[in-house]
Amino acid sequence: MTSDYLWLKLVHVLIAITVLGAGFGAGLVLQFFGDDRARGPYLLGLARKLQLYVAFPGYLLMLASGMWMGHVANLLDVHWTETAMNVWGAGALFMGLSVVSLRKRIRLLETFGPASPAYRRVSLWNRVVGAAAGLVIVFIVYLMVMKPG
């Protein structure tokens, strides 16, 4: 392996750890305290900032560094890398839906409170798309580590 490839791989893995950690941490905080009328708006806003300033840029950097590694190591036409890049698109969609639903969730919490049916519905949707985005990332990590096929 070339030195460039190994450095790219290190950067790629560190970015993945950061994105997964930020997303998982924000998800746990939201699960336990997101519906709190006093602290909820602040924590929901914090989770939104983590998405916008850590998760999204990290997700884009993972794609760029992964494609660069694939180019350096001549892996772009290998089945598992093609699958990972295709699944990445679904993850981007889920992350986008999560940002939109989180913005709506903040507004509904501040306006109607955590007991309102509209808030409960958007909160559930936000959890579902957030979990789906996380599962996509975990699946991509599986592909990168196990290299099936």
Sequence-ordered list of residues with C-beta below 8 angstroms from that of 18, at least 6 positions apart, any chain:
54, 58
Distance CA 3, CA 6 (A): 5
61-108 residue pLDDT tens: 999 999 999 899 888 889 999 999 999 999 999 999 999 999 999 999
Helix 40-50 vs helix 79-112: crossing angle, to nearest 10: 150
- State the Rg of the chain over Cα: 17
Other CB atoms within a 10 A radius of the CB of residue 31 amount to 11
pLDDT band at 23, cuts 50/70/90? confident
pTM of the model: 0.85
